[in-house]
Structures are given as C-alpha cells and as structure tokens.
Amino acid sequence: MISRAELESLRIVGKIIIEYPNTGQKKVFLTEHFDGTIVIAKIVKSGDERVKREIEIVTENSIPNVPQIIELKEFTNISGENFLCIIEEYIEGDSLQERLSKTKLNLNEGIKLLRTLLEISLVLEKINIVHRDIKPSNIMCCRNTKFYLIDFGIARVLDKASLTMTEARIGPHTPGYGAPELFQYSKKNIDIRSDLFSIGVVLFEALTGEHPFLSGDELSMDEIWYKTKTITPKEYQIDGDTSKQLISFIQTLMQKHTTRRPPSAQKAFDWFEAVLSTLEMKGD
C-alpha cells in the first residue's frame, strides 16, 4: 500500500492532517484539500469490485445523511501499482461507537437517530440496496445532533450480480450487528429487513447502554453468532417510553426471523411515527 509521504509527494491530496489506522486494503486520511476544504481521502488499489460498487451506490443515488463523494482520482505510484483516491465529504464529529463508550443517548437523541436510519432505509428499499453493515462505528454523530451513515463497502445491490460466492458459508456482515440471514448467508432472505434488524440492535444499545445479545466476553465468532440467533433481549424501561411502545418496536426490529420483523421500511417508518405520539419527549 502507498505511504503517506509518497501520497503527498505525488500531490494526490493536499496536506494530510490525520492518518487513520488501516482498515483492510484501504488507507484513510483526513486532509486539507487543495481548495482549502477539509475532506476524507480513501486510498484503495484499482480494480476492487466492492469499491466500484460502493462508489456507484453513493454517486448514482441521492441518499439522505450519507457523506457525498466529491472527486475520484486514479494514479500510479513509483512502483507501478495503480490506485484510486476517493475524496469524500468530511463529517465532523465522533462515531456513535465513540459516543457510546462515554454515555448512552437520551430519548430525544435516540429518536433523531432512529428517524435518520429509517429514512435512509426508505430510500435504500426503493433502489434495492441493503447496507449490511449498520453499526455504531459506521454512524457519525455531529455536534448539532445530526447523524450520518457511512461505509457502503459491503452493501448488496439486489438487482445486480452478487459479489459474494453463493456457496460461501458466511456472508459479509459485522458479528453482533448482522441479522441471522446475513451470517447464515441465506441469500433469498436478505433484503431491507436485514438492515432493520441492525437498526434495532443499534438503537437498543444506544438507548440502554447495553448490547441486546452480547456481554462483551464472548470467546469466538461462533459464540457471538449463537447468542445473536438465540438470546432474547432483556426488558428495559427507557426514560420517556412509559407505555413501552418504543422498546416494543425496537424488539420487533430485532426479531430473529425476517417474517416477524416489519415487512418493509415503509411499514417500519409508519410504526415509528405511531410510536412518537406515545412518548414523553423533553426539550433539547
């Protein structure tokens, strides 16, 4: 993979402010672009089909609360390797994962997060896309309590050929947040309801401060998958949810079988709006 110094010397990006830890075959930098704006620069090797699909998803569709791709640059390093630089809108703030390491969300914040994720799912359902990796580290929290969903790197486009072999034993997902049909790789059952499951897990964790299935001391992926598939989340009383309509909705999103979740993103959103009238909301 290309080095920071080489990247700057080739003038692919402007001044590098932060080099983030490596994530697989991708290098990510916070940079000051040549026009003075602060952007995210992602460097990947050319020809990666998942990266191509991620770019297509973001550039060809208008998805709310998803960082926009500003520019694409192809280049060759001094060793003759071909790379792609993706210049992306920078969302200032912390990830939800970082936020939850300090404190859980209050009811107002949780409702804003839930609305954002459901509104994104409405659009994804219409364009036949499943994100497959909704989790706290892929959600950015801005200081104005606006939330963004990032990283469509393992998203599934339902009306295009799959990039994962049909005979694969385990499908792309993050253990602990992926629905059972994702880690069991039941292709015929993967649709927007898989994202609704992940949204339920994220909201449960964000509002209660605890993961619905995991304790954090699991010793293997097999144990995580087993608990995700078998454990029923504890009953919780969320402040302001006196009639327990919100926690009931979240628990339904997390049902193990797809047929027991809301049948569509629209039905989930309609249910969410009905729940709002039962909550005792406080001012921001």
pLDDT digits (tens, 9 = 90+) for 28-70: 999 998 889 999 999 988 888 888 889 999 999 999 999 999 9
Give the pair of three-digit tokens for residue 15. Answer: 């001044």
Do 149 and 139 form a contact (C-beta atoms < 8 A)? yes
Q: Where are the beta strands (DSSP E) in the chain?
A: 15-19, 26-32, 38-45, 69-76, 82-89, 94-95, 129-130, 139-141, 147-149, 156-157
Whole-model pTM over 0.85: yes
The three-point CA angle 258-133-221 to 5° equals: 85
Rg (CA), the chain: 20
Mean pLDDT lowest among 56-70, 83-97, 100-114, 166-180: 166-180
State the catalytic residue, choosing from 48, 94, 133, 270: 133
Domains and CATH numbers, the chain: 4-89 (3.30.200.20), 94-276 (1.10.510.10)
Q: Give yes or no: 217 in active site.
A: no
